[in-house]
Every structure is written in structure tokens, then in C-alpha cells.
């Protein structure tokens, strides 16, 4: 009889910690109203279009949180460096001064990402201070020691922890030494960087340039403790990519694509390859590439009146004019008259014939007497509107400002209004039985390379299906869903109006931030709008300020774009993998991705089996990226995103993993290419020149290399779907008699999670889970001092259980694993 294969879903995760609601301060905008435009026939444009990318450095995550909460746009391209966080801010000259006032270091334009001088290895480093190990029992553990090469240069990356790491006085120093290969001695001592996040010691770490691959490292702590570790390879020996297969076709995308182009190509692919492709339409239309027509008129400060049309600009709002009229005479009441789309407000006069209508009164009159043309009108920002309004000297045309194209915008008119997003579904068997993979690109509008990378991957699937065996295997064994742009409204705004747009186009702002000068700051950060570990639950990294770059929305899943993702994964429950593709940064993330700042309480850590599976998948995916042109995503940028970068409350990955058990990756493509000419890592940009330097920053090259990685993710999913093999595990050392206490740990032959007991009972899914010693470290070590029996079973990432044991049923077989460590002290 054929053995019944037992597979389970591993979702025995603890409930999320609820926390206090974190509130943020008011917008960083000027509340005085002193810059409000006077009536000039046209509302004044603000200066946000002059925003530019400015390299900055922050002392730590605390400052980052503050700066983001204040509404500054500094997401992405952020990098941990030994002395803090470096990145780029999208700011105006005025905002640069504000940043400096907050304690942000603004770097010169010529400063790229650079590690400290200590990183120049290979020769005897300076500052090699002698470390005196103390006699008490401080310990040092090495979490990672990775060797990799890129563009002819070797690098050693090390993470190590000391049990004294949190200690502040004195701060613990760690020295790293390496050998120069087998049977050579340790040397080249250097000081490691202490990494503290949200007040918590994380670990010490450094990236060092080295010319020869070391075999071992030694780490010594200033408070005692020394340990050695063996160096591993990171992405060395990358296998040849599919692009090297004979007849394999690639390089389909020849430039950036705006949403209309992406969607029309998706539909065309479905028509051309009906056997393996179709379109699935997402049910919630976007709120649209559209805005109300507006103007700020009537004076400055307390006299300014903000006017918004009831109709969208393209649906008549742009035809509305408003005029504030001074009439001859005295003792005249405030009144409004409407002719067609022209609104005339007849300003009140006092007994001596002076103008007498305040901004508040005029705003009220516009709302109530404009015959429905104006439905929102209020004083400027937080002003009380007590100033006397001045006549405009003629009609002022309201505008949605969407016709003001930015330099270099693509030809043609952009369709206004809500959009239905098509999902391109590719797979030979789209019956829900094959593992589904969701590729979701461009949540953030200005990130153009993720869209081209995803489209390139789709093209490769359909064009190579008939001719390439490996591609056929992918298409036959997976069910892929491409959302080529999940933020079409914002993306259009980025292409046509404001290149740095990050969020969608939905304006949730109250009057204080609803005037037209704020329009480039409206919108919801779609990747902060989800339900797990969200800002609404008190997690850090999402803002309640509607003009912040990380505005989380008025409530969880407030936006159609995020509702759609949940709809898709609920309708197609075979989706087991997800990649949220962003740029730029050269990072690959998973969970945990958010924490409550006070105490740094993260969302639950994935079980060790999932963690190992994530690492294994990441190595496969990133090896294929490297195979294209030697771009290395470094291990310090891989892992739980809140472990290696920052907390992003309410991101999509947390929701999909914790709610649905989907392996949910986040990817920052582009950026961080090692430049052998300068010896530095060079960061990328959101919209690099398409044909830029093919060895450094180029939209084309990034599209091709990261498409390699997405193709490998499909293979990971296909292999996962075919994995019917039980994992095996063992206790090391195992069964036996020992005269002394003994240190034991579990080992598995593949990524797998172990459930175990030590009290003789049968192990179940409620039993303790074998955990990591600490995050980013291998499994814990048990110090066994008395005779102990371990009962356990392991579950692999595909849900196969070792020996087909059924942990849910106490049947006669009870074929879990068991081992007894007998301590016979004699």
C-alpha cells in the first residue's frame, strides 16, 4: 500500500504582542501660513519639485524614527554602517536645514557608502589594542563568518555576540582576528562595531576587505571571553544562470515602463500564450490618478483661504474659478453668486466701507453657497482664519496640477480615475494544486526597476517555455501571479509629475495639511497599511502623520491596493511564496520585520526550520543574481528586516507570513555594487539611467540580474512543491553513557523545525520548539547534567514530518525519535 504522505502547515505561532499606540507629532510643515499665496490668478506651486536626493547619516534607529515621524522622506537605500545608518533623503534645501537641526549629519555629495578605515584588511591593521580577557565567565559567540568575493575583491563579514554586550559602562569592545588560510596563525586584529538598535544590544559586526580567504577567525571581548570559528562561503561558486542555457532568451525589457505599458503588455502576454497565461483582475479599483482642483487665495496667513472643488479636476474641477470681489458701498453682507462654473464671493463691507469678511467666513460661504462646486474650504493649515480676506482682482482657476508635467515625462496623456489592476498569472496547471508564487512590484511609486525586473521574469517564462527544459519545469510546476505595479496611481504621478512620489494618491489629510502646497506629501505608504505588527498596534516604523513618507493610513487595510493583496492570497490559497519587490538597496528580507520600540519587542521569530529555509532560499536566489555580473547582496543585508535594518510596521510580509503561512520575502533590488575602481560600495538610485554604467548603476543591468533571482525563486517554489521527502534529524551526541555533563544539540539534514520533550512524554505540535541560541545564530545547546530522554520529531519547510509521525494522534506507532543521554557520574 502506498504510504500516505503527511504534510502539515506550520502555523503554530504565538499570538502577536499587543502594545501601546505610538503617536507621532504634527507635520514638519510650516504652520504659520506665512507662505500662503496671494490671489494671483493661479495657486502658487510649492517648492517640493525641487526636492533632491541628499546623502545623510543618522546616529541610530531612534533618530531615524524621529526623522520619519516628522514627515521626512528617507526610506530605502538605507544602510547600516558601523557608526549608524546612512541613506538618502528626498528633501528641499529648506528641509536640509531642518534635518541638520534634528541632529542628522548631511554628507557631501561625493561621499558614498564606505566602511571605516579599519575595514582595509590584508595588512596589519592599526589600533590593534591588546585585550585582557577577564576571569569571570563572559562568553563570546560567533553568529556568522562569511567570505565572499565580488569583482575580484574578497570580503570577510563577521557577526559576533558577547553576553556582556548590553553593558554600557564600560562599553564592551570586541577584537576580530583572522588567519590567512589553513595552518596559518591569527593576526590582523581590528576593532568590531557594536550594533545597538532601539536601546538593545544586537551584536558586534564588521565587513572587511581581505585578499586571501581565511580559514578561521578569533573574536576576543574586552570583558573576557574568546572564541574561534570557521569561515563559511557566501554565494561563492554561483552556478551558471538559466541565461547561459543554449537557446534561452532573455533581455526583453528595453526601458522603463509606466503602469499602462505594464498592464497592456501583461494582457498581451495572456492573449499570446493562452495555454499557460491568463489575467486575473483584482476586485478593488484604485482611488485613481486624480485630485481635486484647488487654490489658496485671499491673502496670506490668517487671511488665506484654501479652496477645493467638489468634482475631480478632470471631471470639471479644473473648470471652476473663484473670485473674491470688492464692491463699492458700506454695510454690505457677505454673499456668493454662481454663474456656470464661476463662483464670485462678494466680500462684506463694514459701516465705513472697509472690507470685513474673514477667511473663516469666506470659507463657510464657499462651502454653503457655491451650489455644490466647492465642498471643501477652510483657513490655511492650523490658522483660525481671523484675517480679512482681500479681493483676488479677477477669477482664480482651480487646478489639480496634474497637467504640469515634469521634465522628461513620457509622451501621451495619462488616463485619470480609478484603475483595475490586472494580475498576470502564468502556469501550465492553474488549478490551485501547484505552489503559487506572488510577485508584487512597485508598492512604492518611484521604484521603477522592480516593475521592469518583474516584467522581464514574466517574459522569460513565456518565451522559454517551449524551448528551455528548466523554464518548462517552472511553468509546469508553479502557479505564478505577477502584479507588475501595485501602485499605478502613484507610479503615474512619479512618471509624469513628481519623480520622487513614494505613496499612493489618496489624500486622507485633515485641513491642516490638505492645502495644495502639501500635495506631493499626501498618500498612504501601501507597505505600512497591513494588519500584523502594524503602527495601529504600536509597532514602530509606520507614521500616523498623513504627510509622512511612511503614513500607514487611517486604519489597517484602508487602501484598495492592500485589500487586493489579501483578496488574492485568500482566493488563491495555493500561494505559498511571495516576493515584495522594492528598490533600491541590495537587501533580501523576511520576518521579523517590525518591533515595538519600547523593549524592542519584535513580531514572533519564525521557527528555526523556516529561518533555515529562508536562508537556504536566499542563498539560491542571490547566487543567481551574482552569476549575472558579480553583484553580491551581502549577508549583513539578509535576514529579518528589523534585525538588519529597521522596523517597518504593518508591512505586507508580516501579514502574509503570520496570517497565511506564506514565505514572504522583501527585496530591495539595485544599489550597493562594489566599485573596484574606487574600492567602495556604490549605492544606487530609484530611477538610475536605463543604460547607465553596465558595471555599476544601470536600470538595465539591475533588471537582468534581479530577474535571474526571481527565476530562481520560482525554482525554489517548484522544488518545495515536489518535496515529499521526510526530513531526518539527530541528537548530537546521541544515545549513550557519559561520565561528565554533556552539551547536546539537534541537527537536521535539511531546513526543519524540531518539537521535543525531555519529560518522557510524546512530542506534539504544542511541545517546545528547538530554537536558535539567539537570532541569526544556529540551534541552541542543551547542557545535560542528569540522565535525560529526548523525544522529538522534525518537520521540514514543506510540512513533511520525520518518519511520517503523526503528532496529532496518540496511535500505537508513536514513531517519534528518541534518545537518552545517560549521565553516569560513578
The Cα 728–Cα 749 span in angstroms is 6
Nearer to Zn ion, 148 or 589 (CB): 589
Which residue stretch of 102-110, 388-396, 438-446, 704-712 sits at the interface with Zn ion (rule: CB under 5 A)? 438-446
Sheet hosting strand 305-312, strand order edge to edge: 292-297, 305-312, 374-379
Neighbours of 246 (CB within 10 A): 6
Q: Could you tell me the smallest distance in angstroms from the CB atom of residue 88 to Zn ion?
A: 13
Q: Could you tell me the smallest distance in angstroms from the CB atom of residue 672 to Zn ion?
A: 15
Q: How many residues bind Zn ion (CB under 5 A)?
A: 2
SS3 content of the chain, % helix, strand, coil (to 5): 25, 30, 50
SS3 322: strand
Neighbours of 720 (CB within 10 A): 21
> Which x/- pattern, by CB under 5 A, does the window 531-570 give for Zn ion?
----------------------------------------
SS3 277: strand
Which residue stretch of 214-222, 234-242, 340-348, 580-588 sits at the interface with Zn ion (rule: CB under 5 A)? 580-588
Sequence-ordered list of residues with C-beta below 8 angstroms from that of 171, at least 6 positions apart, any chain: 194
Maximum Cα interatomic distance, the chain, rounded to a whole number of Å: 114
CA distances from 731 to 451, 714, 821 (A): 46, 33, 10
Nearer to Zn ion, 663 or 686 (CB): 686
CA distances from 157 to 143, 232, 307 (A): 11, 10, 57
Q: Could you tell me the smallest distance in angstroms from the CB atom of residue 582 to Zn ion?
A: 3
Nearer to Zn ion, 543 or 800 (CB): 543
Burial class of residue 783, CB neighbours in 10 A (0-12, 13-18, 19+):
exposed
The Cα 305–Cα 551 span in angstroms is 26
According to DSSP, the β-strands at 79-81 and 84-91 are antiparallel
Nearer to Zn ion, 648 or 791 (CB): 648
Q: Could you tell me the smallest distance in angstroms from the CB atom of residue 703 to Zn ion?
A: 16
Which residue stretch of 245-253, 268-276, 444-452, 546-554 sits at the interface with Zn ion (rule: CB under 5 A)? 444-452
β-strand partners of 639: 589
Q: Could you tell me the smallest distance in angstroms from the CB atom of residue 204 to Zn ion?
A: 29
Nearer to Zn ion, 578 or 795 (CB): 578
Nearer to Zn ion, 222 or 486 (CB): 486
Instruction: Report residue 560: phi and psi, to 5°.
Output: -60, -35
Q: If binding is defined by CB under 5 A, does position 582 make contact with Zn ion?
A: yes
DSSP letters along 215-267, please? SEEEEEETTS-EEEEEPEESSTTPPPPGGGSTT-------S---HHHHHHHHH
Nearer to Zn ion, 512 or 649 (CB): 649
Instruction: Report residue 421: phi and psi, to 5°.
Output: -85, 125
Q: Could you tell me the smallest distance in angstroms from the CB atom of residue 589 to Zn ion?
A: 11
Nearer to Zn ion, 381 or 444 (CB): 444
Q: Could you tell me the smallest distance in angstroms from the CB atom of residue 564 to Zn ion?
A: 17
Sequence-ordered list of residues with C-beta below 8 angstroms from that of 408, at least 6 positions apart, any chain: none
Q: Could you tell me the smallest distance in angstroms from the CB atom of residue 444 to Zn ion?
A: 3
Nearer to Zn ion, 668 or 712 (CB): 668
Nearer to Zn ion, 457 or 501 (CB): 501
Q: Which of 204, 444, 503, 653 binds Zn ion (CB under 5 A)?
A: 444
CA distances from 68 to 27, 65, 76, 653, 797 (A): 10, 5, 12, 21, 36
Cell for 193? Answer: 562595531
Q: Could you tell me the smallest distance in angstroms from the CB atom of residue 569 to Zn ion?
A: 20
Closest C-alpha to 710, from 467, 420, 426: 426
The Cα 28–Cα 98 span in angstroms is 9
8-state DSSP, 803: G
Give first-to-last CA distance, the chain, whole Å. 50
8-state DSSP, 640: E
Closest C-alpha to 708, from 249, 238, 242: 242
Q: Could you tell me the smallest distance in angstroms from the CB atom of residue 174 to Zn ion?
A: 33
Q: Could you tell me the smallest distance in angstroms from the CB atom of residue 647 to Zn ion?
A: 15
Which residue stretch of 113-121, 510-518, 543-551, 582-590 sits at the interface with Zn ion (rule: CB under 5 A)? 582-590
Nearer to Zn ion, 367 or 653 (CB): 653
Nearer to Zn ion, 204 or 446 (CB): 446
CB 233 within 8 A of CB 148: yes
For 627: left if phi > 0, alpha if psi spans -120 to 50, otherwise beta; the answer is alpha
Nearer to Zn ion, 146 or 654 (CB): 654
Over 438-482, what HEC string results? EEEECCCCCCCHHHHHHHHHHHHHHHHCCCCHHHHHHHHHCEEEE
β-strand partners of 280: 423
The Cα 754–Cα 751 span in angstroms is 10
Nearer to Zn ion, 205 or 444 (CB): 444
Q: Could you tell me the smallest distance in angstroms from the CB atom of residue 452 to Zn ion?
A: 15
Q: Could you tell me the smallest distance in angstroms from the CB atom of residue 485 to Zn ion?
A: 12
Q: Could you tell me the smallest distance in angstroms from the CB atom of residue 666 to Zn ion?
A: 9
Q: Could you tell me the smallest distance in angstroms from the CB atom of residue 502 to Zn ion?
A: 7
Nearer to Zn ion, 53 or 156 (CB): 53
CB 216 within 8 A of CB 230: yes
Nearer to Zn ion, 258 or 444 (CB): 444
- Give the HSE-up count for residue 208: Cα atoms under 13 Å, Cβ half-sphere: 31
Question: For the CA atoms of the chain, what is the radius of gyration?
Answer: 30
Q: Could you tell me the smallest distance in angstroms from the CB atom of residue 622 to Zn ion?
A: 19
Which residue stretch of 20-28, 40-48, 437-445, 657-665 sits at the interface with Zn ion (rule: CB under 5 A)? 437-445
Cell for 323? Answer: 473670485
> Which x/- pattern, by CB under 5 A, does the window 397-436 give for Zn ion?
----------------------------------------
Which residue stretch of 209-217, 574-582, 655-663, 712-720 sits at the interface with Zn ion (rule: CB under 5 A)? 574-582
Q: Could you tell me the smallest distance in angstroms from the CB atom of residue 533 to Zn ion?
A: 17
Which residue stretch of 113-121, 230-238, 575-583, 728-736 sits at the interface with Zn ion (rule: CB under 5 A)? 575-583
Nearer to Zn ion, 454 or 800 (CB): 454
Q: Could you tell me the smallest distance in angstroms from the CB atom of residue 450 to Zn ion?
A: 8
Which residue stretch of 124-132, 303-311, 576-584, 645-653 sits at the interface with Zn ion (rule: CB under 5 A)? 576-584
Which residue stretch of 102-110, 137-145, 439-447, 750-758 sits at the interface with Zn ion (rule: CB under 5 A)? 439-447
Cell for 57? Answer: 547619516
- Give the HSE-up count for residue 819: Cα atoms under 13 Å, Cβ half-sphere: 17
CB 665 within 8 A of CB 713: yes
Which residue stretch of 274-282, 391-399, 581-589, 716-724 sits at the interface with Zn ion (rule: CB under 5 A)? 581-589
Nearer to Zn ion, 321 or 548 (CB): 548
Contact set with Zn ion (CB under 5 A) = 444, 582
Amino acid at each position: 500500500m502506498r504510504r500516505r504522505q503527511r504534510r502539515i502547515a506550520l502555523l503554530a505561532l504565538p499570538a502577536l504582542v499587543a502594545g501601546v499606540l505610538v503617536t507621532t507629532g504634527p507635520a514638519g510643515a510650516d504652520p504659520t501660513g506665512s507662505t500662503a499665496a496671494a490671489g494671483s490668478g493661479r495657486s502658487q506651486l510649492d517648492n517640493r519639485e525641487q526636492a533632491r536626493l541628499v546623502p545623510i547619516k543618522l546616529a541610530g534607529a531612534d533618530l531615524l524614527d524621529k526623522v520619519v515621524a516628522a514627515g521626512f522622506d528617507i526610506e530605502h537605500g538605507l544602510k547600516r554602517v558601523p557608526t549608524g545608518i546612512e541613506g538618502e533623503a528626498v528633501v528641499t534645501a529648506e528641509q536640509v536645514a531642518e534635518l541638520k537641526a534634528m541632529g542628522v549629519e548631511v554628507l557631501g555629495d561625493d561621499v558614498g557608502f564606505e566602511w571605516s578605515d579599519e575595514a582595509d584588511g590584508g595588512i596589519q591593521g592599526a589600533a590593534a589594542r591588546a585585550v585582557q580577557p577577564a576571569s569571570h565567565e563572559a562568553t563570546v559567540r560567533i553568529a556568522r563568518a562569511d567570505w565572499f568575493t565580488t569583482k575580484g575583491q574578497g570580503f570577510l563579514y563577521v557577526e559576533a555576540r558577547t553576553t556582556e554586550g548590553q553593558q554600557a559602562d564600560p562599553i564592551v569592545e570586541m577584537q576580530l582576528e583572522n588567519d590567512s588560510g589553513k595552518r596559518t596563525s591569527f593576526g590582523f586584529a581590528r576593532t568590531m562595531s557594536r550594533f545597538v538598535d532601539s536601546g538593545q544590544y544586537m551584536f558586534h559586526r564588521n565587513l572587511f576587505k581581505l585578499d586571501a580567504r581565511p580559514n578561521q577567525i578569533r573574536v576576543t571581548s574586552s570583558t573576557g571571553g574568546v572564541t574561534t570559528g570557521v569561515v563559511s562561503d557566501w554565494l561563492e561558486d554561483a552556478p551558471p544562470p538559466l541565461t547561459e542555457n543554449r537557446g534561452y532568451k532573455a533581455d526583453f525589457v528595453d526601458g522603463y515602463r509606466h503602469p499602462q505599458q505594464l498592464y497592456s503588455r501583461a494582457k498581451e502576454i495572456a492573449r499570446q500564450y493562452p495555454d499557460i497565461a491568463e489575467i486575473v483582475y483584482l476586485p478593488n479599483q484604485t482611488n485613481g490618478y486624480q485630485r481635486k482642483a484647488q487654490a489658496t487665495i485671499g491673502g496670506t496667513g490668517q487671511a488665506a483661504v484654501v479652496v477645493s472643488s467638489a468634482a475631480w479636476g478632470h471631471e470639471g474641477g479644473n473648470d471652476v474659478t473663484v473670485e473674491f470681489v470688492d464692491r463699492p458701498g458700506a454695510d454690505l453682507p457677505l454673499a456668493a453668486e454662481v454663474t456656470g462654473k464661476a463662483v464670485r464671493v462678494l466680500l462684506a463691507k463694514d459701516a465705513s466701507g472697509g472690507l470685513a469678511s474673514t477667511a473663516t467666513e469666506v470659507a463657510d460661504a464657499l462651502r454653503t453657497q457655491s451650489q455644490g462646486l466647492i465642498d471643501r474650504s477652510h483657513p490655511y493649515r492650523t490658522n483660525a482664519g481671523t484675517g480679512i480676506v482681500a479681493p483676488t482682482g479677477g477669477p482664480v482657476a482651480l487646478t489639480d496640477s496634474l497637467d504640469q508635467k515634469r521634465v522628461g515625462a513620457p509622451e501621451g496623456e495619462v488616463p485619470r480615475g480609478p484603475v483595475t489592476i490586472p494580475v498576470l498569472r502564468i502556469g501550465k496547471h492553474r488549478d490551485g494544486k501547484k505552489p503559487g508564487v506572488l510577485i508584487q512590484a512597485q508598492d512604492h511609486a518611484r521604484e521603477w526597476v522592480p516593475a521592469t525586473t518583474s516584467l522581464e521574469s514574466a517574459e522569460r517564462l513565456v518565451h522559454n517555455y517551449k524551448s528551455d527544459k528548466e523554464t518548462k519545469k517552472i511553468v509546469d510546476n508553479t502557479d505564478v501571479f505577477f502584479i507588475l505595479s501595485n501602485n499605478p496611481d502613484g507610479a503615474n504621478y512619479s512618471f509624469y509629475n513628481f519623480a520622487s512620489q513614494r505613496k499612493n494618491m489618496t489624500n486622507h489629510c485633515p485641513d491642516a495639511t490638505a492645502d495644495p502646497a502639501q500635495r506631493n506629501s499626501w498618500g498612504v505608504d501601501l507597505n505600512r497599511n497591513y494588519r500584523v505588527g502594524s503602527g495601529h498596534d504600536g509597532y514602530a516604523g509606520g507614521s500616523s502623520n498623513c504627510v509622512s513618507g511612511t503614513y500607514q493610513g487611517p486604519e489597517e487595510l484602508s487602501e484598495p491596493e492592500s485589500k487586493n493583496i489579501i483578496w488574492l492570497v485568500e482566493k488563491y490559497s495555493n500561494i505559498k511564496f511571495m516576493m515584495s519587490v522594492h528598490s533600491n538597496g541590495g537587501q533580501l528580507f523576511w520576518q521579523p520585520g517590525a518591533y515595538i520600540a519600547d523593549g524592542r519587542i519584535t513580531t514572533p521569530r519564525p521557527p528555526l526550520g523556516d529561518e533555515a529555509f529562508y536562508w537556504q532560499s536566499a542563498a539560491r536566489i542571490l547566487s543567481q543574481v551574482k552569476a549575472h555580473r558579480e553583484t553580491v547582496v551581502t549577508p549583513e543585508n539578509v535576514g529579518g528586516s528589523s534585525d538588519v535594518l529597521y522596523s517597518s510596521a504593518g508591512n505586507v510580509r508580516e501579514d502574509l507570513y503570520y496570517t497565511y503561512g506564506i514565505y514572504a520575502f522583501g527585496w530591495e533590488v539595485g544599489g550597493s555594487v562594489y566599485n573596484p575602481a574606487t574600492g567602495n560600495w556604490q549605492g544606487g538610485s530609484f530611477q538610475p539611467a536605463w543604460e547607465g554604467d553596465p558595471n555599476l548603476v544601470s536600470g538595465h543591468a539591475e533588471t537582468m540580474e534581479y530577474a535571474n533571482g526571481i527565476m530562481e525563486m520560482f525554482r525554489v517554489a517548484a522544488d518545495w512543491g515536489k518535496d515529499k521527502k521526510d526530513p531526518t534529524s539527530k541528537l548530537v551526541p546521541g544515545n549513550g553513557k557519559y561520565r561528565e555533563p554533556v552539551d547536546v544539540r539537534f541537527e537536521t539534514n535539511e531546513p526543519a523545525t524540531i518539537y521535543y520533550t525531555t519529560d518522557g512524554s510524546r512530542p506534539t505540535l504544542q511541545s517546545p520548539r528547538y530554537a536558535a541560541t539567539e537570532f541569526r545564530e544556529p540551534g541552541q545547546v542543551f547542557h545535560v547534567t542528569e540522565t535525560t530522554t529526548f523525544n522529538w520529531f522534525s518537520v521540514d519547510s514543506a510540512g513533511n514530518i520525520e518518519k511520517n509521525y503523526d503528532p496529532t494522534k496518540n496511535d500505537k506507532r508513536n514513531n517519534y525519535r528518541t534518545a537518552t543521554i545517560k549521565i553516569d557520574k560513578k
